[in-house]
């Protein structure tokens, strides 16, 4: 092969590798940005209470995931799906979500959807040692990862959730008022309360609470 052609091919290979690297970096960084539109908002993987409000605790039914419309226009939810590291679809959304709106999906919601779809009723299947939650958009033959969040065993501790610090923030923090984390790992404890179905946030003057007070906030 002529040396000039060899140089050209080498330059093309290097250029293509650079493009792939840039694209991969964008894919990794995109979920951390404060993007307008639907995004994952809060996740609770280790329930020990009746989070779905059906009157009984169930380890499968009381897990939950929140999504939030962080944009300025309503979002049609029909094309969106939830999955985890196993890449099995756990829940399919329907309806629409207004700007600023929050959609709570419990494990029992996932079981009901799976039953209606004729698939295994595994619920959300959030792993308590750590897992990755994906928000997908399925349009015909195309599937796009809209948002993704990986959590570890600290976030998955009993009745702890992990979520965006606020609607305006891209940071994920620990909501651990019901089971304070005092270790030296990350994320660190905040004393904030999980807020299923409500906007995330935590005041600086955190006070102790009871499960009864927390339940009354979301009725």
Q: For residue 4, name the pLDDT band (cuts at 50, 70, 90).
A: low
pLDDT value at position 2?
55
Distance of CA 81 to CAs 65, 67, 90, Å? 12, 11, 7
Domain borders along the chain are: 1-32, 36-217
Q: For residue 167, name the pLDDT band (cuts at 50, 70, 90).
A: confident
Answer yes or no: is pLDDT of 154 > 90: yes
Answer yes or no: is pLDDT of 5 > 80: no
Residue whose C-alpha is closest to residue 40's, from 129, 153, 145: 145
Half-sphere exposure of 102 (CA within 13 A, CB side): 20
* Average pLDDT of span 105-132: 97
pLDDT value at position 202?
82
* Average pLDDT of span 49-61: 97
Question: May I ask the CATH architecture of the domain 36-217?
Answer: Sandwich (2.60)
pLDDT value at position 203?
58
* Average pLDDT of span 9-16: 38
Answer yes or no: is pLDDT of 69 > 80: yes
* Average pLDDT of span 54-81: 97
For residue 30, the 8-state DSSP code is: G
Residue whose C-alpha is closest to residue 68's, from 27, 93, 98: 98
Answer yes or no: is pLDDT of 110 > 90: yes
Q: Which long-range contacts (CB under 8 A, 24 or more apart) does 197-204 make?
A: 197/66, 197/102, 197/104, 198/102, 199/100, 199/102, 199/166, 199/167, 200/41, 200/42, 200/163, 200/164, 200/165, 200/166, 200/167, 200/175, 201/165, 201/166, 202/165, 202/173, 202/175
For residue 127, the 8-state DSSP code is: -
Answer yes or no: is pLDDT of 183 > 50: yes
pLDDT value at position 89?
96
Strand partners, 172: 164
Both tokens of 53, joined, read 């409000």
* Average pLDDT of span 114-129: 96
């Amino acid at each position: 092969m002529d040396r000039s052609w060899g140089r050209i091919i080498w330059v093309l290979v290097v250029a293509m590798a650079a493009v792939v690297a840039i694209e991969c970096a964008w894919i990794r960084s995109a979920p951390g940005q404060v993007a307008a539109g639907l995004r994952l908002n809060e996740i609770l993987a280790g329930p020990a209470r009746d989070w779905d409000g059906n009157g009984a605790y169930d380890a499968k039914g009381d897990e939950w995931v929140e999504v939030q419309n962080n944009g300025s226009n309503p979002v049609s939810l029909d094309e969106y799906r939830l999955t985890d590291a196993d890449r099995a679809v756990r829940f399919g959304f329907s309806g629409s979500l207004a700007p600023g709106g929050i959609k709570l999906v419990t494990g029992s919601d996932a079981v009901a959807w799976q039953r209606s779809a004729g698939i295994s009723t595994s619920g959300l299947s959030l792993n308590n040692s750590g897992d990755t939650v994906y928000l997908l958009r399925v349009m015909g033959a195309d599937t796009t990862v809209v948002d993704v969040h990986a959590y570890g065993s600290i976030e998955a501790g009993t009745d702890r959730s992990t979520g965006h610090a606020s609607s305006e923030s891209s940071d994920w923090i620990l909501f651990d008022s019901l089971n304070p984390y005092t270790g030296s790992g990350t994320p660190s404890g905040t004393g904030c309360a999980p807020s299923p179905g409500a906007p995330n946030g935590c005041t600086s003057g955190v006070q102790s609470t009871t499960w009864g007070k927390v339940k009354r906030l979301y009725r």
